[in-house]
Structure 1
């Protein structure tokens, strides 16, 4: 059956099905992370954002006190709207009620619905007015412990031959965290994590957990805006020179193309890679602020001997896993030092800033001597600088950044967002990243793995004729001037998306999405040299939600994925799921469950789907091969201080004798995972 016939089938089936309205935080998490999840590992940790949203649900942002920083932390508010809000407050006086926001230009009904859970009109107490005894008595403590494991045995645990690669630890996953908060101006954070396969209080991990992370964060103390000691993240400009922690780009929310830089923040994620460790502070001098910082930490790398006296590392590992003898040997093989400063000037609607910092390693980075690595970074140190701006003027928001690695290449971004009509918004984004630009802390919007070796132009439109209808579309055209992994020539591509949503107010909605992606890759041939050919991926999704009553909600999705590459078999996969959510307005027990059916011929036609999980543990597992996916989550509240979550999830595949590959392989056709989480707040 041809692909367009499947499209008609999808639309017809789901147009007849009723679906549910999920919680606003779940909805927001899905919209922010759904597209970036396809480029990340299956178990990538999104807890940093989830924790931030949950914190502002419990400690709403005061519209009469914010300077806009907290609003930017929500990640979904356009800077143009934030500027309009601050100007409205300055001209009209303090807000009396949050629904005054409807009078501010740039706020539609969908944005207001997402924003409401995180804002309030109040006057919180300043930290400087609080004594030490009050900090001890009135602060809130949050202790959480999470345990999980795969029930079936993986091959890596069954190997006893010490000369072979194997898992050195147990299949248990353990994560523990502690938080102390006093309002929004003081936070103490501690994370401890053990991944499946890693040793625990023994062998190479005699100190217990494989990963420890902690920080103390204070803000809003007069001229001292922010200070962090421990692990932290820095986010400046559009992410070309310095951006650590989680970041977003293209998605069904057009405002995501203009990054919302938060400056200095404590790092609270369990991800073991994207952060700095040391100390940093933001000091304000009127409209001018300065952020000096220092970081020193150990990284994982593939170390090897060279003919000279210089130690060298072939590549830096990004997994954070230390399960096998090789992974353990590469642990902390490289020392990284980074120091520098950011300076930013901010007026009513204009922000301009500059960043300069130095990164140094104790061993030289020496990637493989391959043609595609001709312009890759080599050496032990580098200086990075950047200039950036954003400015809103008469309904137009302009933003941009130019970054330079001293002695090497440049990276450039410029963009705008504007309202062409009260119901029509436009977003434009141009990027030019030279092939010899290097930064170890960049997360600029890109199709590739980082802001290097890429040129692209993005344009998007969002149409809101009324509160019931939303239509979003974007087109992104890009080029890679130099060779890449599995692409032995300069190449180009396109990413097109259109999405239509109809909402029955407070009751249900239905969304229809089509995405077309074209790239070039090496042909699937055995010739001595590779020619590049087009690779096409198309996806059609129809999804919706329906609220039966205040307790029961439903959610459905049907999705098709089509893959085509010259020399490979064309693949056409599908996935359909049904969710049931039980969440009474009052009551101790709540939960949700899913049943999904899927059939994809191979990995190339895989489908990703957002899954609810225990608190802070959203996931996007990939569906491929043929089978059934089901999971169930339960939460029980023991009074106001203690919560317990339990999760069971399983994949059952058809016509297979082994699930997974390598050390992760499981005999049989099933993989099941359990997770238990306990949180105590006092």
Structure 2
């Protein structure tokens, strides 16, 4: 061992107290998902990410055995740093302690603090010479059941007229999951889910739960590096052609613009979309890996009749809800086949790959005859092909992808992340998604809702003048060459965000954020011809957290939201909250609570705020109107292997007689919900 490595180890141990505080998983989740949450449904399930973080916290990644895939699973570790880590290990030998990470280029103190709970230096397990009896005896089992419901009665449950739309089931929400894991080489996953309003062992759900999902995952078996039977997700390149499961993009962590592709993974989320069902495997041949995949599943869709007994799909549903007669009628209305292959070459810091797959439906997709749908996909079959690359060199990480939907358009994305100085990093990203490009599995960086009809250029900077200070800024300029929903002409806009953070290690941190977004929509004013007007949203956020002692922490936020549209009324909203967190190290009881006060005129000035929840469940409810928000989470550990969580949350609005709309409307001014969760590891 080189003498310098002893010095690094001693320095690392001296700094242990400063950086070894247990990572707040909530902080990682919030940073990765906070901007994503504004673009998806309020109850979007982020449990896939939470499950990964929880697993790697209990089973840390061995720095001396990882090939980088597990580090990519964490989502917050830049690929440039992963490449530097692997090269450092090849050049200097195996790690002697995790604090040797400080010698690797591209690691700042914040990344080290986030990474420490997920890595170790040790010996990994494998399936070699392991029998079936040992698999069952030595593996880890986990059973979890969650129950929840809104306490107030919603309108959809009160309608008894069978000719009207109504909810067919109870307001109970039930989710059950089972996991079996033997090290990192074997995993069995099973999810069962019933949403509020869906029937249970009755009607369309006569088999019990509305949604079942399961998979068997085996890895590291010689040339067979990964194999999944059941539900799975594929992530390749920059998400232009094939990306299932969670995907992140613009946010306070600028490295998020470079997608962290994990290849083949089992699908373990409770989201009822964005996955494949069948089988897939990855085989390695030296520097080359091949992933063939096959999927067959039924999707929800609105069926329209074209005449002569011919039916077509006017739209595919992404909600996964089957509560009303119409939703039940659309359930599983379309059959989807997907088959294809990915081939990837990797040599040191260079990765190149090609993905090609074929999608076919049993009914033709025929969107409504609207001008904005002129370039939308039509037909029964689609062939997609993409080529991607990423490479790091001397502090610069390059990445990109080019995708083509055969017979129609192209999509391109290229970017770089560069360390200009030990305290300064730069991120650039250019995208061009043609209006006639189509893919049913794309999640590339985009401002719009799909990888289509968009051009944009993103640039971001992160500056670390010291261990206590971080300043980041990004600007994203974008154009939509064709029409969109509520935008009857080509349009453009800008998205800017800057954030300053000051941290007192282990004690407190404060951040100030400003975000400005401007885009165009159809003008409110009635004119002889349709024109576009500028719509701008500005948000200012001041966030702080203070640790009183080893048990109690406080968290506060003040956020302002400003909305303005040409020819319309300007709106200004305000939200303030205070959190109290009780988390003793070894006590049976822990918990947290929040009290928020908000005055927000309407939906245009809505504010999203991350909330703690029971394990594997995190929420980003939107605040609008005037009122208060409060919640309380409690966790009690009965033993080392058994836990129970209890959550109560409520909105109380001022000067309203009804909360919500349509079938979700509640008489009165209150909307409250409870959640109970039990987990047993054995």
Q: TM-score range by the shorter chain?
A: over 0.9
Give the deviation of 1:529 after TM superposition: 3.9
Matching residue of 1:56: 56
Matching residue of 1:514: 514
Q: Which runs of 5+ in 2 are unaligned?
A: 1-20
* Residue pairs, 1:55-74, within 5 angstroms: 55-74=55-74
Query: What is the CA–CA distance in structure 2 between the aligned matches of 1:478 and 1:372, rounded to whole Å?
Result: 18
Give the deviation of 1:132 after TM superposition: 1.4
Matching residue of 2:681: 681
* Residue pairs, 1:163-202, within 5 angstroms: 163-202=163-202
- Checking the alignment, whether the CA contact within 8 Å between 2:400 and 2:413 is kept in structure 1 is yes
- Checking the alignment, whether the CA contact within 8 Å between 2:478 and 2:494 is kept in structure 1 is yes
Query: What is the CA–CA distance in structure 2 between the aligned matches of 1:51 and 1:512, rounded to whole Å?
Result: 30
* Residue pairs, 1:518-557, within 5 angstroms: 518-527=518-527, 529-557=529-557
Matching residue of 2:252: 252
Matching residue of 1:18: none
Matching residue of 2:84: 84
Matching residue of 1:631: 631
Matching residue of 1:378: 378
Point out the more displaced range, 123-132 or 407-416: 123-132
- Checking the alignment, whether the CA contact within 8 Å between 2:125 and 2:184 is kept in structure 1 is no
- Give the TM-score of the pair, scaled to structure 2: 0.96
Matching residue of 2:362: 362
Query: What is the CA–CA distance in structure 2 between the aligned matches of 1:517 and 1:125, rounded to whole Å?
Result: 49
Query: What is the CA–CA distance in structure 1 between the aligned matches of 2:200 and 2:531, rounded to whole Å?
Result: 48
Query: What is the CA–CA distance in structure 2 between the aligned matches of 1:529 and 1:127, rounded to whole Å?
Result: 69
Query: What is the CA–CA distance in structure 1 between the aligned matches of 2:244 and 2:254, rounded to whole Å?
Result: 22
Query: What is the CA–CA distance in structure 2 between the aligned matches of 1:125 and 1:553, rounded to whole Å?
Result: 37
- 2:310 is paired with a residue whose SS is coil
Matching residue of 1:306: 306
Give the deviation of 1:586 after TM superposition: 1.1
- Checking the alignment, whether the CA contact within 8 Å between 1:22 and 1:553 is kept in structure 2 is no
Query: What is the CA–CA distance in structure 2 between the aligned matches of 1:130 and 1:567, rounded to whole Å?
Result: 71
Query: What is the CA–CA distance in structure 1 between the aligned matches of 2:632 and 2:61, rounded to whole Å?
Result: 33
- 1:129 is paired with a residue whose SS is coil
Query: What is the CA–CA distance in structure 2 between the aligned matches of 1:149 and 1:60, rounded to whole Å?
Result: 35
Give the deviation of 1:204 after TM superposition: 1.4
Query: What is the CA–CA distance in structure 2 between the aligned matches of 1:128 and 1:289, rounded to whole Å?
Result: 22
* Structure 2 residue 499 is the aligned partner of structure 1 residue 499: yes
Matching residue of 1:399: 399
Matching residue of 1:315: 315
* Residue pairs, 1:105-504, within 5 angstroms: 105-504=105-504
Matching residue of 1:582: 582
Query: What is the CA–CA distance in structure 2 between the aligned matches of 1:529 and 1:365, rounded to whole Å?
Result: 31
Q: Which runs of 5+ in 1 are unaligned?
A: 1-20
Query: What is the CA–CA distance in structure 2 between the aligned matches of 1:214 and 1:679, rounded to whole Å?
Result: 19
Distance 1:577 1:226, change over 3 A: same
Matching residue of 2:98: 98
- Checking the alignment, whether the CA contact within 8 Å between 2:558 and 2:575 is kept in structure 1 is yes
Give the deviation of 1:22 after TM superposition: 9.1
Give the deviation of 1:119 after TM superposition: 0.4
- Checking the alignment, whether the CA contact within 8 Å between 2:23 and 2:117 is kept in structure 1 is no
Matching residue of 2:5: none
- 1:128 is paired with a residue whose SS is coil
Give the deviation of 1:308 after TM superposition: 4.1
Give the deviation of 1:309 after TM superposition: 4.4
Query: What is the CA–CA distance in structure 2 between the aligned matches of 1:125 and 1:404, rounded to whole Å?
Result: 41
- Checking the alignment, whether the CA contact within 8 Å between 2:642 and 2:681 is kept in structure 1 is yes
Matching residue of 1:644: 644
Query: What is the CA–CA distance in structure 2 between the aligned matches of 1:308 and 1:521, rounded to whole Å?
Result: 40
Q: Which runs of 4+ in 1 moved over 6 A?
A: none
- Larger RCO (alpha carbons 8 Å, 6+ apart): 1
- 1:428 is paired with a residue whose SS is strand
- Checking the alignment, whether the CA contact within 8 Å between 1:512 and 1:542 is kept in structure 2 is yes
Query: What is the CA–CA distance in structure 1 between the aligned matches of 2:522 and 2:139, rounded to whole Å?
Result: 58
Query: What is the CA–CA distance in structure 1 between the aligned matches of 2:36 and 2:106, rounded to whole Å?
Result: 26
Give the deviation of 1:528 after TM superposition: 5.6
Query: What is the CA–CA distance in structure 2 between the aligned matches of 1:222 and 1:86, rounded to whole Å?
Result: 21
Give the deviation of 1:566 after TM superposition: 1.3
Give the deviation of 1:338 after TM superposition: 0.2
- Checking the alignment, whether the CA contact within 8 Å between 1:147 and 1:677 is kept in structure 2 is yes
Deviations 1:530-558 (A, max 9, x none): 21000000000000100000000000000
Give the deviation of 1:222 after TM superposition: 1.0
Give the deviation of 1:124 after TM superposition: 1.8
Deviations 1:114-139 (A, max 9, x none): 10110000102211231211101000
Query: What is the CA–CA distance in structure 2 between the aligned matches of 1:317 and 1:43, rounded to whole Å?
Result: 16
Deviations 1:232-278 (A, max 9, x none): 00000000000010100000001000000000000000000110000
Number of residues paired by the alignment?
A: 662
- Checking the alignment, whether the CA contact within 8 Å between 2:23 and 2:113 is kept in structure 1 is no
Query: What is the CA–CA distance in structure 1 between the aligned matches of 2:313 and 2:407, rounded to whole Å?
Result: 22
- 1:111 is paired with a residue whose SS is helix
- 2:187 is paired with a residue whose SS is strand
- 1:486 is paired with a residue whose SS is coil
Give the deviation of 1:203 after TM superposition: 1.3
- 1:388 is paired with a residue whose SS is strand
